Amino acid sequence: MMISTKGRYALRILVDLAEHQSAGYVTLKAIAERQEISEKYLESIGKDLVRAGFLQALRGKGGGYRLSRPADQIRVLDVLRVMEGTLAPVACLAEGSAPCARAARCRTLPLWQGLDKVVTDYLQGFTVQDLAKTDADNYDYVI
């Protein structure tokens, strides 16, 4: 599994907004400059994040984006599911997929179910607030 640029950038936007939430609404231009990402690309991602309920947007002077709820209530798993569609390692485990006629006899199904559970449980354990924290080593970059 590989997380797309869209998924990674969505997390970067959310982390940036979590770090600058005291500023109120933050412009895409400011986020784009800090994150070194195309403003045009961020517009598309921002719209998806608003539609999914992670962000609020305000148009006009003084407008921009802000988190729609506290950063500690936005789970990384939920963001990636919205941006990536599915994180399932195989198609038969994707939400809404048709049942596999061979699932009862599939020797590899338990392997894929286990991997899916590990990934889900791991990502469920992180929030945007967790990613916004700085540590003793002063890591300040988000991939």
Alpha-carbon distance values, 44 to 73, 101, 102, 120 (Å):
23, 38, 39, 26
pLDDT tens, position by position, 25-35: 999 999 999 99
Q: Which sequence spans correspond to the domains of the chain?
A: 5-132
Alpha-carbon distance values, 30 to 48, 120, 125, 132 (Å):
19, 32, 29, 17
pLDDT tens, position by position, 106-118: 999 999 999 999 9
Whole-model pTM: value is: 0.88
CATH of 5-132, one of 1.10.510.10, 3.40.50.300, 3.20.20.70, 1.10.10.10: 1.10.10.10
pLDDT tens, position by position, 131-142: 997 765 656 656
Q: Are 34 and 62 in contact (CB under 8 A)?
A: no
Residue 64: strand, helix, or coil: strand
